[in-house]
Structure 1
């Protein structure tokens, strides 16, 4: 399942343009001056906390894989999850675009079937949204009670509340109609597989029965995870730790340039900023930065250049650290189809 390199290149060009426009709007000289004020030891702490976030979410994935009978060590899970983040960060639409490739990495590293790996990463990514909405609600509730910060907090509140309502509703509807979803997915995948087999001589199109078997395996794996309370609690616990690490990394990035921000500011900014990861840009690059800056200016009471400098430090750790490490993992695993 190779990456669409043309789409990836186009995505990075779009991200570069978005970042360039963002730097122009906040002022390049002001941004560079703010970055020059960063304290190196604190900036290094941002990297350490970002590594903690990556390990926590890797353990959440490991927990889900364990429930599906695919045992994997914590160290290998961390390495594989770095590869997963690499796939998410170099494909358009973030996790949605990277999950098929991520499943390939996981299936080879954990020696499990592809549909099981796909169910594991889909379940882990879905569970990651649960604590993000709770953390965001804590932040917006604090600001709503203590401070009036205008329209941007209203937008952030609407985004968090919409997620908090939409996620359980979509999950409930999907669970109740899973048989119809399964049949519909077979009806879409089987013709698509035949089309690929027709125009790619080296690939043999699977029979409809084989497609049905794989789709059934995917839904069975998701059902196993969804009905295992111990797995759900452990995975959500690791996910919550990861979100708090991300928020801490942003707080430290602000502190590195001399800003002591309210904790609630980063609790709001991080989960709302993550919503921008669904943009067509690779890993949300450019979109997430714009949202974080727009929120930090009113929530932390700082200038756009100062907010941008903190976001550069934060995203340098959250985006580029796993991208660089994950690229090495993909190469080491020998997944030449990625």
Structure 2
């Protein structure tokens, strides 16, 4: 199992490197390097600070959700745990979908919480983070439409149409799932119980769980999700923290252009950052390569006369360099520490 996961991760990074090579070739390597060398170091430092502010905001959302589930955690500890979560997402194919089980294990070990509670917490945070992103993207598009005619560019119109579809489809899917949550729980229990018990038989030193035990844990996961969804105060705080985190990311992209002497409307950043994040579901570690390509395509599609290929790629390199590598390095240290402590206990 571990060998297969390692193989998938290695293949994912090789795919990401191939995408980056094509992207840099598209921008022109020499011109890209020259543009990056002109970047203002102080402004790049501000991009890093906005990244840390984003991590702190989403850490607060995680802390709030865990608090609703009865797990008390300090903001500092939740910051490092969330950094570890981002590390697992950034090195795992399919981004958050692939990294959530690892993240749940990290939370359970660091916060002394049950695994299903930890999984419900990070799943809730990831879901809550989606809501403000779509809302902000719609606001950014609406504001930008007052400055230019979106209809003059087919790519931007398609991107906006995708956001509108998601804004309608995701809440509808969530509402339907919530209404039939008990039936869904029964079907998941029936489908997963035999599979979990079969896998456990081939895992060394892992006890084979009873059917009752598997049902209890899956039921615990759903009960935890329900507790979060029915806590208005917790939802409001988590959504507010999530929205502020998204704003920090958008500000980071805007500052990345400022670092190389280019001004873009903040509304453009509000539009493209959430859409770019959707590319994180690609089978590349943390969406690396896919997110950058989508962001560059959207920026070049926008009517920004001063944004050339090399400038767009250079700004994205600065922005994603901070957003991807800061949590990866911090989270990597957290994961190493947890593994070290776990091996000694």
**CA deviation vs aligned residue, 1:88-139 (integer Å, no higher than 9, x gap):** 0000000000001000001111111000000000001100011101110011
- 1:115 corresponds in structure 2 to 116
Q: Is the CA contact 1:2–1:101 (under 8 Å) kept in the aligned structure 2?
A: no
- 1:139 corresponds in structure 2 to 140
* 2:79 is equivalent to residue 78 of structure 1: yes
TM-score (norm 1): 0.97
Q: CA deviation at 1:2?
A: 5.7
Q: Distance in 1 between matches of 2:188 and 2:24?
A: 43
Which aligned pairs between 1:247-286 and structure 2 lie closer than 5 A? 247-286=250-289
Q: Give unpaired runs (5+ residues) of structure 2.
A: none
Q: CA deviation at 1:145?
A: 3.1
- Of 94-103 and 163-172, deviating more is 163-172
- 1:172 corresponds in structure 2 to 175
Q: Distance in 1 between matches of 2:267 and 2:321?
A: 22
* 2:38 is equivalent to residue 37 of structure 1: yes
Q: Distance in 2 between matches of 1:23 and 1:205?
A: 50
Q: Distance in 1 between matches of 2:96 and 2:186?
A: 24
Q: Distance in 2 between matches of 1:73 and 1:290?
A: 37
Q: Distance in 2 between matches of 1:118 and 1:170?
A: 20
4+ runs deviating over 3 angstroms: none
* SS of structure 2 residue aligned to 1:146: coil
Q: Is the CA contact 1:140–1:153 (under 8 Å) kept in the aligned structure 2?
A: no
Q: Give unpaired runs (5+ residues) of structure 1.
A: none
- 1:307 corresponds in structure 2 to 312
Q: Distance in 1 between matches of 2:248 and 2:23?
A: 26
Q: Distance in 1 between matches of 2:195 and 2:42?
A: 52
- 2:322 corresponds in structure 1 to 317
Q: CA deviation at 1:38?
A: 0.5
Q: Distance in 1 between matches of 2:143 and 2:257?
A: 20
Q: Distance in 2 between matches of 1:216 and 1:250?
A: 41
* SS of structure 2 residue aligned to 1:219: helix
Q: Distance in 2 between matches of 1:278 and 1:201?
A: 31
Q: Distance in 1 between matches of 2:255 and 2:204?
A: 53
* 2:339 is equivalent to residue 334 of structure 1: yes
Q: CA deviation at 1:155?
A: 1.7
Q: Distance in 2 between matches of 1:109 and 1:155?
A: 43
Q: Distance in 2 between matches of 1:80 and 1:314?
A: 23
Q: Is the CA contact 1:156–1:268 (under 8 Å) kept in the aligned structure 2?
A: no
Q: CA deviation at 1:162?
A: 1.6
* 2:205 is equivalent to residue 202 of structure 1: yes
Q: Distance in 1 between matches of 2:265 and 2:97?
A: 32
- Of 303-312 and 146-155, deviating more is 146-155
Q: Distance in 1 between matches of 2:9 and 2:190?
A: 28
Q: Is the CA contact 1:116–1:217 (under 8 Å) kept in the aligned structure 2?
A: yes
Q: CA deviation at 1:295?
A: 1.1
**CA deviation vs aligned residue, 1:293-336 (integer Å, no higher than 9, x gap):** 11112334311110000000000100011001100001111276
How many equivalent pairs are there? 337
TM-score (norm 2): 0.95
* SS of structure 2 residue aligned to 1:38: coil
